[in-house]
Structure 1
Amino acid sequence: MDHPSDAQPADAPLDPGALALSALAWVLTDDDRAARLLALTGLTPDALRAGLGDTGVQAAVLEFLAGHEPDLVLAADALNVAPATLAAAADALARAAGTR
């Protein structure tokens, strides 16, 4: 049985890395979108797989979405977050990776 103390508060900050991985899973559900991610980020499938835990790779995934508003809005809707939340996570990850 779940206890109220076990639940994350509704206003708790979301983990940027977890958001990036969820967003990547969403991107990969569409072959054309996945191919565009690889083309625009310069990542290879192997580099993407190897870099799943890397903040730079995670930032690249979210920056890819932030760079194309229709995908950003669709991804945010699918992940049940605001588009601004994904954009903020991209910024946080880029800062952590030292690319911003």
Structure 2
Amino acid sequence: MTPESAETVALKALAFIAADSDELERLLARTGLTPETLRSQAGDPALLGGVLDFLLEQDDRLLAFCQDAGLAPEETTRARSRLPGGAGEMVLP
């Protein structure tokens, strides 16, 4: 998977999370980001890695995203490994 493909998966994950106000609140609380910062930095690869970290923290959340996006969970994990901080720690700008 290319870094560009990984970013596309992460942007889909961000849209999926943003569509659920409860999940979005959890993401913002977990990262300390404001909605404005999230919007303005949505294309930052490090932030996108953090979005995938959040998604991968819960199997239910991951599986719901994968079903919605038509992806296998392994593809999401592979995408995470191609973005900054892919060793497993959440990295945000």
TM-score (norm 2): 0.83
Partner in structure 1 of residue 67 of structure 2: 77
Pick the aligned partner of 2:81 from 72, 91, 96. 91
Q: Of the two, which has the highest radius of gyration? A: 1
**Does residue 47 in structure 1 map to residue 37 in structure 2?**
yes
Tell me the matched-pair count. Answer: 85
| Counterpart code for 1:35 | E
Matches of 2:73 and 2:52, distance apart in 1? 10
Matches of 2:27 and 2:67, distance apart in 1? 19
Q: Which runs of 5+ in 1 are unaligned?
A: 1-12
TM-score (norm 1): 0.77
| Counterpart code for 2:63 | V
Q: Which runs of 5+ in 2 are unaligned?
A: none
Structure 1 stretches of 4+ moved >2 Å: none
Percent of matched pairs sharing the same residue: 34
Higher relative contact order structure (alpha carbons within 8 Å, sequence separation ≥ 6): 2
Matches of 1:87 and 1:42, distance apart in 2? 23
